[in-house]
Amino acid sequence: MSLLLLIFAMVAGALLPTQAGINAQLAKNLGHPLLAASVSFALGTIALLLFTLTFHIHLPEISRAIQAPWYFWVGGLLGVIYLTATIILAPLLGAATMIGLIIAGQMLASITLDHFGLVGFPVHPLGFWRAVGAIFLIVGVVLIQRS
């Protein structure tokens, strides 16, 4: 795996608690978490449209888009739930506990998705070391939360 990809993943991970804190402050300023989430998604949509235009990415034919299974279209809804949850949880839990719990949830979901090969992931059965790693991660979250 390329060092550049590893660094990119770390930077993306570092942006999550920063985004949660910024959006929580925006929610405080605007008076509601859903307003902050709406602003965040609106600005993100504008940025994505600009990137799409800048890189001359062509839209697929409508028939191809229509053929996609219904569940391909729920990613944005899952993003809304995630973003709104972080806006609500950040000031209540703090960055370390919130992100620890999110990562624990991501890891448990990822292990399940890999084990059963769901939503397009290749099958990677749950083995001893994956289970131990997940347990250590959960223990780590508990320890972070207790401090």
Count: domains in the chain: 2
pLDDT of residue 18: 95
Distance, in Å, from the CA atom of 27 to the CA atom of 41, rounded to the nearest integer, reads: 13
What's this model's pTM, rounded to 2 decimal places? 0.85
Q: What is the model's pLDDT at position 24?
A: 97
Write b or e for each residue in 42-69: b if 16 or more Cβ atoms lie within 10 A of its Cβ, otherwise e: eeeeeeeeeeeeeeeeeeeeeeeeeeee
**Residue 65, pLDDT score:** 87
The per-residue pLDDT for range 102-141, each reduced to its tens digit, is 999 999 999 999 999 999 999 999 999 999 999 998 899 8
Q: Domain check: are 74 and 16 in the same one? A: yes
Shared-domain flag, residues 31 and 9: yes
Last residue of a domain, one of 77, 93, 109: 93
Length reported for the chain: 147
- 3-state percent breakdown (helix, strand, coil) of the chain, nearest 5: 85, 0, 15
The pLDDT assigned to 123 comes to: 97
Written as six digits, the tokens of 33 are: 């978490």
143: containing domain: 94-147
Question: Does 62 share its domain with 134?
Answer: no
Q: Are 43 and 83 in contact (CB under 8 A)?
A: no
Which one-letter DSSP state was computed for residue 31?
Answer: T
Summarize pLDDT for 56-101 with one digit per residue, the tens.
999 889 999 899 999 999 999 999 999 999 999 999 999 999 999 9
Q: Do residue 114 and residue 61 come from a single domain?
A: no
pLDDT at 1 over 90: no
Domain boundary among 93, 110, 126: 93
Q: Clarify whether residues 56 and 16 are in a common domain.
A: yes
CA distance 22 to 59: 32
